[in-house]
Amino acid sequence: MEDQPRRPFFEFDTPVKYMLWLAAIFLVPIVNTWLLSGGRITPEDITLSAYASLLLVNPIAVVIAGALYGWRHGFNALLPWLFGLAFIPAALVAYNPTALPYGIGYAVLGYVGLGIGIGLKRLATRSQNRSN
What are the pLDDT digits (tens) for 62-110?
999 999 999 999 999 999 999 999 899 888 888 888 999 999 999 999 9
Residues 121-126 have a mean pLDDT of 92
Residue 74's region, left for phi above 0, alpha for psi from -120 to 50, else beta, is: left
Contact 121, 71 (CB under 8 A): yes
Task: Measure the CA–CA gap between 57 and 70, rounded to whole angstroms.
Answer: 20
Q: Specify the amino acid at residue 118.
A: I
Phi, psi of 96 (to 5 degrees): -150, 170
Per-residue confidence (pLDDT) for residue 39, from 0 to 100: 62
Per-residue confidence (pLDDT) for residue 129, from 0 to 100: 86
What are the pLDDT digits (tens) for 29-66?
777 666 666 666 677 777 777 888 889 889 999 999 99
Per-residue confidence (pLDDT) for residue 104, from 0 to 100: 95
Per-residue confidence (pLDDT) for residue 49, from 0 to 100: 78
Per-residue confidence (pLDDT) for residue 80, from 0 to 100: 93
Which residues 6+ apart lie within 8 Å of 25 measured at CB? 57, 58, 61
DSSP state of 101: T
